[in-house]
Structure 1
């Protein structure tokens, strides 16, 4: 029989083990997120299918449609019947959407290709698109590749960042061709429920004062339905009798009044911002002070004090930035007026951080997440843009707690999902996505707070791949990974303060290396581009409202491919120390940024394409006879500099490190033909197809010796290689479950032992 002494020891040991397991469970990082599998709604597979283009037909009275377009700046919902992939949804709400892109299109009388937002349940309670109540249709205005936003989301998704679903959509209006858009899942209730299992937390979309002008995207969608008097579809009613919303109807096609700007004026037109040509009473947006006001062309002029004597309308080097030096180091030597690679040292990263928006964080109102005391009013850019109606002032304190601890970095993981944030910024840095948190604009991101822990969520990547404030192609390719902002690190504490912690910086570098090795070098990136091109190229060719020609699209895709390889080369060199990581490096590139699309859209909208993104004269080779922009691009080289890392030997298009004269489009087609075979081998019939494409026997021999990547498997491998996969982390799920069950089992055993022996007599 067991002695009382030994029995007590046994029970004590079992209890200690059980409690220890329980404490381990409690001590697991709070940022490991959910512990259960979240069932995905139907729309994830039925609507957002990477292998198909969504077919959407908008049915609306012609007069009502044109009236909505003519008053696009009002962003008011109008009713329509919308057919999606053959299924018709009646009385669906649709409106134009956007911020700066919407304003630019309103002022452009050559196109009505607006982005749209659709609400399926605005007029019909409970109506959804296979579980999705809202859908965004983006017009690809500033993207000649049509792929920037799509590829960005795929990269973020592969890193385990909660990411909106997206797919291409072919739009027709009353059966007539309209164009190829990108359909995107909004970051709202359904997105949060899909990624986090519930909507118990609080969601914010920060917008600093410098970019909040004219942005009604949040305000319109947060109104109660009772606030609307929508234009319902009534076949028996003349469209001219349709009622409008309670806001003032304006049919002048002029920009409307943004919130808190000249609110005393009820004309509904955008008023002159403070101190901006206030003497003009026309109500139309005026040119900012000192910005070539005498020019009436409507194109963006030279910012104040930036070589205003130059009448070329091209962006010059700011007057306070090495003005006394007129040598070729400070100005481009091609006499075009464009800024060269050698931008002044005091211009952050060589980027245009202070050229757009409200200045260096001066009008942030909390969107930069800089700690400014515990007064809630100092963070209006966050709290005025809460998405959920259930969010109240009590919830604000959780965001304030995060910002305060971000400032001190004390116990930061109890307030911030650090791992998720680092993944987000690794992708953002690779993409040189400056139209985001990391510029003085401090926008195009969401904050989601749940149980006191805050995550950052991605949004709006049409200007990724250096489409905004990037300067030259060389600056973009060499954008520094450890100073990944366009203004100053102190104004961007969400990334700057994390990088000051060695552990976090090392993890951030690991995610950057994952992108280089598992997204670029293994061929996933190129295969994804090839697959996407195969899916959409015919739609692009026939796009009725396109901002770019099909030839421009093909040129843009070629540059996009080169950008990925050159950017990976630069990041690899920064990681191994052969290139600087806090300032602009010297990796050479043949990328032509403007060809890929820039802010302002196609057809030189707003004169943006005349700025600084033409090919660099001194960045390609030492042989000046080599052009940086030709009609036919060879496959991108992965070893573009003496300081570059080793070539990516298995990348399609690189042909095992040997140069190929094939156009990248032909190479993409060749890859698709090979991958169409059952096992990827080159049979006689496939060889004939490759020869018909223009490949030589040598090309085919090289291809046959390569293991061509499979995009889906590579993406899955990339995900599996990363330990923490965001909200749906099955690895942490299993660990937590095992520990929990073990603890329960041990406690049960201990209780049974006590119950079994308490009735017995023990030997003393």
Structure 2
């Protein structure tokens, strides 16, 4: 009898230990040992909105806003979902978006956070750099996020991404899309190594046309990693091969490139290699073979208009009256029309709420370029002039049109984002557009799902030969002087751009930036759970992620407890079969 009691007691203790380890510890905020890339689950939790709290000296913050075009680093403390990191570098970022906000009465800049700027050993759960993108030119607030989701679904190396609500010195600043930087950490995570060469093309040579055998002549192809060993790079050999008929399979990951260009074409993402700006992509060379990495999709879904032209007017096209930025006023009801200047930055270069344009829906899949000819983009040309590769490219387009860029798939995403984001959008004091415009992108005749429906139908018709679309092949050339922008605020013609054009050099107007205030009725951020009190949870059909990363040793303990529990059960069963002594 005594032995039986001892066995049952042991069983009870083991069972309680198992329950404790399995159900209690992961939910009481104990931070277990982090894996090298745990930031993917902790920071970029796509099931909720992450809070990013910036603490910075007021004079430094104002200086950064007043001189945003300089992109100078300021020192700050950043708290992400309650995790505080001191001595962090922060600056404004962007190209045309940065210039447009500078030339407007908004201070809603995209931001770059460098956790390792002052201490190269410092990170946030392994993350070294974080981009906070301001959703410039996107009334739906979803183009970039959904584009990255689709790139992931196509199996491409894609930066981690999620929505983040930013505060500055306790004041609400706005809803942003947080995107992982493409750097050594990203490379190690995606490719298992960061020993290769990472390139960010933007400028002379970014079209990958052959110039010479000297890498120094490709001034627009910046190497970001392993610079000291650049002589070992195969970049020139790759460029020579795609231009002059070499064995391109020796130098590029053909299948990956085909998947990338098929999805980029389906998304009508023309602020890219396929457009006249020939940028917004990364190349990573490892063991002499190049992969392509997607980047910057706020103008996807046809947001960068046909023929390389960006829609809308300059952001300073406003009435001289009522020049106060909306963050310094009482928020207007969403059914009221905001003054032009309130929407200025957003409705400037490239900003268009109109999705259903014929040029976007029926963008050519045969010669998928804009503002240039296919021959002007030799990487794409080398792929599509090969019958085998073109057949695979078309097969991927068919897969995209029937599986990924479908009305049902995009509708599922937009509805879940509406549940997750609407309260944040309403609270956002610096937003470029209204909550109604955000919701219009969720469903209806001018929504992202409707775009997907019509775009996919066009792709399938083009594949079958039922629809033939002429390519947009206006040639590149000279760029007008931005000092000659007419007084009516209309944008100059962007169809003609010089090889060395750098839009970041466009002159700012140096307008004074105003500091935002928290709108009335906004609940303070809940620092413990990364969201607002009462905020509905997202229901994304991906594996739910926890804010803590489970240490492998924890799993070992749980497994050992299960084994001991099973052993105890076996002992009890054998003991009962033998009967009492």
Output the TM-score relative to the length of structure 2: 0.66
Corresponding position: 1:142 with 2:137: yes
User: Per the alignment, do residues 66 and 418 of structure 1 end up closer, same or farther by CA in structure 2, a change over 3 Å counting?
Assistant: same
Question: 8 Å contact 1:406–1:497 — kept in the other structure?
Answer: yes
Q: Shift of the alpha carbon at 1:71?
A: 1.2
In structure 2, do the counterparts of structure 1 residues 393 and 202 end up closer, same or farther at CA, with 3 Å as the change threshold? closer
Aligned partner of 1:468 in structure 2 is 304
Once the two structures are TM-superposed, the CA of residue 395 in structure 1 deviates from its matched residue by 3.1
C-alpha separation between the residues in 2 aligned to 1:393 and 1:57?
Answer: 39
Matched ranges for 1:153-164 at <5 A: 153-164=148-159
* Structure 1, gaps ≥5 residues long: 1-38, 209-364, 585-604, 613-672, 677-709, 714-764
Q: Cα deviation per residue 1:442-473 (whole Å; 9 max; x = unaligned)?
A: 11111111111111111111111111132681
2:63 corresponds, among 62, 67, 79, to: 67
Shift of 1:393: 3.9
Distance change in 2, residues 1:581/1:161 (3 Å): farther
Q: Which residue is equivalent to 1:50?
A: 46
**What CA RMSD, in Å, does the superposition of the two structures yield over aligned residues?**
2.5
Q: Compute the displacement of 1:583 (Å).
A: 4.1
Which of 383, 387, 390 is matched with 2:224 structurally? 387
Q: CA contact under 8 A between 1:527 and 1:711: conserved in structure 2?
A: no
Aligned position for 1:439: 275
| Pairing of 1:449-598 with structure 2 (within 5 A) | 449-470=285-306, 473-486=357-370, 487-521=372-406, 523-558=408-443, 559-580=447-468, 583=471
Which of 188, 196, 199 is residue 194 of structure 2 equivalent to?
A: 199
- For the residues of structure 1 that align with 2:452 and 2:44, how far apart are their CA atoms? 25
**Residues 147 and 267, structure 2, Cα contact 8 Å, conserved in 1:** yes
CA distance in 2, matches of 1:433, 1:156: 12
CA change 1:516–1:437 in 2 (3 A) is same
Asked if the contact 2:267/2:302 (under 8 Å) is kept, the reply is yes
| Matched residue, 2:253 | 417
Q: Give the gaps of 5 or more residues in structure 2.
A: 1-34, 308-355, 473-487, 496-535, 544-581
Higher strand share: 2
Superposition deviation, residue 555 in structure 1: 2.3
Q: Match for residue 368 of structure 1?
A: 207
Separation (CA, whole Å) in 2 of partners of 1:611 and 1:496: 23
Whole-Å separation in 1 of the counterparts to 2:448 and 2:199: 32
Which string of whole-angstrom CA distances, capped at 9 and with x for unpartnered residues, describes residues 21-41 of structure 1? xxxxxxxxxxxxxxxxxx871
Q: Distance in 1 between matches of 2:87 and 2:36?
A: 26
Contact in 1 for aligned 2:369/2:471 (Cα 8 Å): no
Structure 1: distance between partners of 2:154 and 2:489: 35
Deviation string 1:179-213 (CA, Å, 9 cap, x unpaired) is 000000011101111011111100010111xxxxx
Please give the residue correspondences for 1:302-381 in structure 2 after superposition, counting only pairs within 5 Å.
Answer: 365-381=204-220
Local SS of the residue matching 1:419: helix
* Alpha-carbon distance in structure 1 between the residues aligned to 2:151 and 2:469: 22
Distance 1:93 1:198 in 2: 26
Give me the whole-angstrom Cα distance separating, in 2, the residues matched to 1:435 and 1:60.
33
163, 171, 175: which one aligns with 2:166: 171
Shift of 1:581: 5.1
Task: Please state how far the C-alpha of 1:379 moved relative to its aligned partner.
Answer: 1.6
Over 3 Å counting, the alpha-carbon distance change for 1:40 and 1:514 in structure 2 is farther
| 1:96 counterpart = 2:75 | no
The range that moved more, 520-529 or 40-49, is 520-529
Q: Matches of 1:52 and 1:609 in 2, distance apart?
A: 41
1:145–1:607 Cα change, 3 Å: farther
Q: Is the 8 A contact 1:202 1:391 kept in 2?
A: no
Q: CA deviation at 1:435?
A: 0.5
Cα distance in 2 for partners of 1:431, 1:609 equals 26
Following the alignment from structure 1 to structure 2, what is the Cα–Cα distance between the partners of residues 495 and 571?
A: 18
| Cα-to-partner distance string for 1:382-409 (whole Å, 9 max, x where unaligned) | 1xx110153444134x001111111233
1:493 Cα deviation from its structure 2 partner: 1.1
Q: Distance in 1 between matches of 2:448 and 2:407?
A: 17
1:133–1:436 CA distance, 2 compared to 1 (3 A): same
RCO higher in structure (CA 8 A, sep ≥6) = 2
Aligned length: 401
Shift of 1:582: 5.0
Superimposed CA distance per residue, residues 131-155 of structure 1 (whole angstroms, 9 cap, x where no aligned partner): 0011000001111111011011111
CA distance in 2 between partners of 1:521 and 1:494 (Å): 28
Deviation at residue 533 of structure 1 after TM alignment = 1.6
For residue 610 of structure 1, report the CA deviation from its aligned partner: 13
